[in-house]
């Protein structure tokens, strides 16, 4: 077979867990309809547990319907955009489903955004309604925006009485001590109280006909390679498809029986689609946290007998050495999953040795509705992020062309399936850059350098934009980082290329040392260590020690910020 035929034959199917289908039928329903099915089945089951406060599925639906009725009366109509500028909380879930019930779409905004970033997203998404955390209102106000409707809410509105004090400390921790607005703010035109709206309106939202294939549900913003963030257009069908694909791939997860730890931020596609939405459309109980306090999470895992835990590499890196990690019987969990970045092998080794459990890696993007690949339950492969989910096609093509590459060669991964976005919101040129048609079918260029082995497992090398060209050689930043993490005194590392007229780019390593090694380990020692494990052209030419490295919203090292720093020097 030629390379194209090999990929289209889906060699990975033979390694699917027994009972996992190659294809599933995608339900032709909206997200609210999928949620309502769970309410009918599990109405008296806890949907959310928020620091001890339980909200049952039936209660959650009533709150959703009350807010949907209020939004409709305030003027939100089908097709509108509602911005959620919130921390993880019951209000996030309520506002999310209420918006979708009206046929409007959600755009989630990161609570750590600056007022400039907030302004860009609200203006670009055309959001005229903002559901806003009270402590973030000042930042919204500074953006110079005047949305038609701002609905203010506070973390402590759903806390148990004995934990009202926690609301203040959680807010301070989550938002660097920002304070709630004065009472006069609620008197401004167009500003409403979340709780007052729920009290005022009955749970009777107007009926709306949603076309799952055409109607947008979410506009999540993604950084992309350059310029301001842009939004991926995700339909109800994209979201519903992904849930079906993921659940069919994980047959051990049983509808109505799981308890999921929900601390990943809901504004991020991972926390939103995999954890929040994924839990609530399978009748699971979400143990919800506003801030990822490790001690509280570990205690809650045992108290509520968690069966699902979703994390990111930096969290597992921390937990593998944390003194209280052993309080959890990790082998009891049905699924321990990692996404948003690649796990370092040193982290995997230490985790397995310490807990006796395995971490299941996956791959996804905002543009793929969070997930496209994951590791089969019964068959890990070291260094691989797994195989495509049911209904997903994946292939490797030339990084700067369209030709299919033979198995084993590194190129750009392309994807096709029902979970792939419709394109970028108001960015037709950007959409053309990443969407390509093959035999009448649309494929997404991921921008990631990947290879597929003979068994159909996929291996990540780097983002195209992170590939370093040194004197004609191609150097994967991630490969160099893997070696740096093997050094016993290196706590964190980030590798980028910095412009150099003679070499093209010089390899620069930003390194955070363990506290006891600071001032004792030199740049020369780090370079010498790399010389023992890397080809000469891959060895960093510059090493810079830092107290910490810039991180993205989900905690991975931000090479983009490091690269920008290097370019400014």
Q: Write down the pLDDT at residue 102.
A: 98
Taking only the tens place, the pLDDT of each residue in 413-459 is 999 999 999 999 999 999 999 999 999 999 999 999 999 999 999 99
**537 pLDDT higher than 60:** yes
Taking only the tens place, the pLDDT of each residue in 72-109 is 999 999 999 999 999 999 999 999 999 999 999 999 99
Kindly state whether residues 106 and 188 are assigned to the same domain.
yes
Is residue 208 classed as helix, strand or coil in its secondary structure?
A: coil
Q: Write down the pLDDT at residue 232.
A: 97
**146 pLDDT higher than 90:** no
Higher pLDDT, 504 or 171: 504
Give the CATH number for residue 511.
3.30.300.30
* Rounded Cα gap, residues 358 and 337, in angstroms: 9
**224 pLDDT higher than 70:** no
Mean pLDDT to the nearest integer, 131-136: 95
**202 pLDDT higher than 80:** yes
**219 pLDDT higher than 60:** yes
**118 pLDDT higher than 90:** yes
Kindly state whether residues 55 and 11 are assigned to the same domain.
no
Kindly state whether residues 187 and 231 are assigned to the same domain.
no
Kindly state whether residues 426 and 553 are assigned to the same domain.
no
Q: Write down the pLDDT at residue 225.
A: 41
Kindly state whether residues 191 and 246 are assigned to the same domain.
no
Higher pLDDT, 72 or 478: 72
Say how many CA atoms lie within 13 Å of 385 toward its Cβ: 25
Taking only the tens place, the pLDDT of each residue in 35-85 is 999 999 999 999 999 999 999 999 999 999 999 999 999 999 999 999 999
Kindly state whether residues 430 and 508 are assigned to the same domain.
no
How is residue 340 annotated by DSSP?
Answer: S
| Owning domain of residue 111 | 31-209
Owner of token pair 């983002």: 463
Does any domain span residue 380?
yes
Does any domain span residue 63?
yes
Does any domain span residue 221?
no
Does any domain span residue 61?
yes
Question: Token pair of 502, please?
Answer: 């003679």
Does any domain span residue 216?
no
Q: Write down the pLDDT at residue 564.
A: 82
Mean pLDDT to the nearest integer, 4-18: 96
Does any domain span residue 219?
no
Give the CATH number for residue 187.
3.40.50.980
Kindly state whether residues 417 and 400 are assigned to the same domain.
yes
Q: Write down the pLDDT at residue 144.
A: 86
Kindly state whether residues 170 and 264 are assigned to the same domain.
no
Taking only the tens place, the pLDDT of each residue in 150-188 is 999 999 899 887 665 555 555 555 555 566 665 666 667
Share of the chain above pLDDT 90, in %: 76
Q: Write down the pLDDT at residue 163.
A: 63
Q: Is the pTM of this model over 0.75?
A: yes
Mean pLDDT to the nearest integer, 226-238: 88
Kindly state whether residues 22 and 50 are assigned to the same domain.
no
Kindly state whether residues 433 and 491 are assigned to the same domain.
no
Local confidence band at 203 (pLDDT 50, 70, 90 cut-offs)? very high
Q: Write down the pLDDT at residue 31.
A: 98
Mean pLDDT to the nearest integer, 271-279: 97
Domain boundary among 428, 462, 496: 462
Kindly state whether residues 415 and 388 are assigned to the same domain.
yes
Taking only the tens place, the pLDDT of each residue in 353-388 is 999 999 999 999 999 999 999 999 989 898 899 999
Q: Write down the pLDDT at residue 479.
A: 86
* Rounded Cα gap, residues 207 and 373, in angstroms: 36
Domain boundary among 423, 439, 462: 462
Q: Write down the pLDDT at residue 47.
A: 98
Q: Which of 238-242, 361-365, 469-473, 553-557 has the highest mean pLDDT?
A: 238-242
Q: Write down the pLDDT at residue 226.
A: 46
Q: Write down the pLDDT at residue 418.
A: 98
Question: Token pair of 88, please?
Answer: 């993880």
Mean pLDDT to the nearest integer, 393-419: 96
Domain boundary among 437, 462, 487: 462
Q: Write down the pLDDT at residue 1.
A: 82
Q: Write down the pLDDT at residue 315.
A: 92
Under 8 Å between Cβ of 554 and 340: yes
Beta bridge partners of 374: 362, 387
What are the backbone angles phi and psi of residue 466, rounded to the nearest 5°?
-100, 0
**14 pLDDT higher than 60:** yes
Give the CATH number for residue 362.
3.40.50.12780
Does any domain span residue 117?
yes
User: What contacts 24+ positions apart, CB below 8 Å, involve 115-123?
Assistant: 115/139, 115/140, 115/142, 115/143, 115/144, 116/143, 117/229, 118/85, 118/143, 118/145, 119/143, 119/144, 119/145, 120/228, 120/229, 121/83, 121/221, 121/229, 121/231, 122/83, 122/147
Under 8 Å between Cβ of 217 and 236: yes
Q: Write down the pLDDT at residue 167.
A: 53
Kindly state whether residues 83 and 135 are assigned to the same domain.
yes
Domains in the chain, number: 3
Does any domain span residue 22?
yes
**501 pLDDT higher than 90:** no
């Amino acid at each position: 077979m030629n390379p194209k035929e090999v990929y289209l034959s889906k060699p990975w199917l033979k390694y699917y867990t027994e009972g996992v289908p190659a294809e599933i039928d995608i339900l032709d329903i909206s997200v609210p309809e999928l949620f309502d099915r769970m309410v009918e089945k599990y109405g008296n089951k806890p949907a959310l547990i928020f620091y001890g406060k339980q909200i049952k599925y039936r209660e959650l639906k009533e709150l959703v319907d009350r807010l949907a009725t209020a939004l409709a009366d305030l003027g939100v109509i089908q097709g509108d955009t509602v911005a959620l500028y919130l921390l993880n909380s019951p209000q996030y879930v309520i506002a999310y489903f209420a918006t979708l019930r009206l046929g409007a779409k959600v755009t989630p905004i990161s609570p750590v955004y600056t007022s400039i970033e907030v302004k860009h997203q609200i203006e670009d998404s055309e959001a005229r309604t903002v559901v806003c955390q009270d402590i973030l209102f000042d930042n919204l106000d500074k953006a110079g925006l005047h949305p038609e409707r701002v609905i203010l809410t506070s973390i402590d509105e759903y806390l148990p009485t004995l934990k009202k004090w926690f609301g203040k400390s959680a807010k301070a921790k989550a938002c660097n001590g920002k304070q709630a607005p004065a009472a006069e703010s609620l008197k401004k035109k167009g500003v409403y109280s979340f709780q007052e709206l729920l009290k005022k309106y009955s749970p009777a939202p107007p009926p709306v006909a949603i076309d799952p294939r055409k109607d947008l549900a979410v506009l999540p913003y993604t950084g992309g390679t350059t310029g301001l963030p842009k939004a991926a257009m995700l339909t109800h069908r994209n979201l519903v498809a992904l849930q079906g694909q993921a659940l069919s791939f994980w047959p051990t997860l049983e509808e109505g029986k799981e308890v999921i730890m929900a601390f990943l931020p809901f504004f991020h596609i991972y926390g939103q689609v995999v954890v929040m939405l994924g839990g609530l459309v399978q009748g699971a109980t979400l143990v919800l946290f506003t801030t990822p306090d490790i001690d509280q999470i570990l205690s809650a895992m045992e108290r509520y007998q968690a069966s699902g835990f979703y994390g990111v590499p930096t969290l597992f890196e921390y937990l593998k050495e944390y003194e209280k990690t052993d309080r959890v019987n990790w082998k009891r969990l049905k699924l321990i999953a990692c996404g948003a970045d690649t796990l370092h092998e040193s982290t995997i080794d230490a985790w397995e040795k310490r807990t006796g459990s395995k971490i299941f890696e996956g791959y996804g993007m905002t543009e793929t509705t969070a997930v496209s690949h994951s590791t089969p339950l019964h068959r890990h492969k070291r260094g691989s992020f797994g195989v495509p989910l049911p209904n997903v096609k994946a292939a490797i093509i030339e990084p700067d062309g369209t030709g299919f590459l033979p198995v084993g060669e590194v190129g750009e991964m392309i994807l096709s399936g029902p979970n792939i976005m419709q394109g970028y919101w108001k960015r037709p040129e950007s959409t053309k850059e990443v969407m390509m048609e093959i035999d009448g079918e649309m494929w997404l260029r991921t921008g990631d350098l990947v290879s597929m082995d003979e068994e159909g497992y996929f291996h990540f090398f780097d983002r195209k934009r992170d590939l370093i060209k040194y004197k004609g050689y191609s150097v994967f930043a991630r490969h160099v980082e893997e070696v740096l993490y093997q050094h016993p005194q290196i706590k964190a590392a980030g590798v980028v290329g910095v412009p150099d007229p003679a070499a093209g780019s010089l390899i620069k390593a930003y390194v955070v040392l363990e506290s006891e090694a600071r001032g004792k380990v030199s740049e020369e020692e780090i370079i010498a260590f790399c010389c023992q494990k890397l080809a000469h052209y891959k060895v960093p030419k510059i090493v810079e020690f830092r107290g910490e490295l810039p991180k993205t919203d989900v905690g991975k090292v931000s090479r983009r910020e490091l690269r920008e720093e290097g370019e400014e020097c």
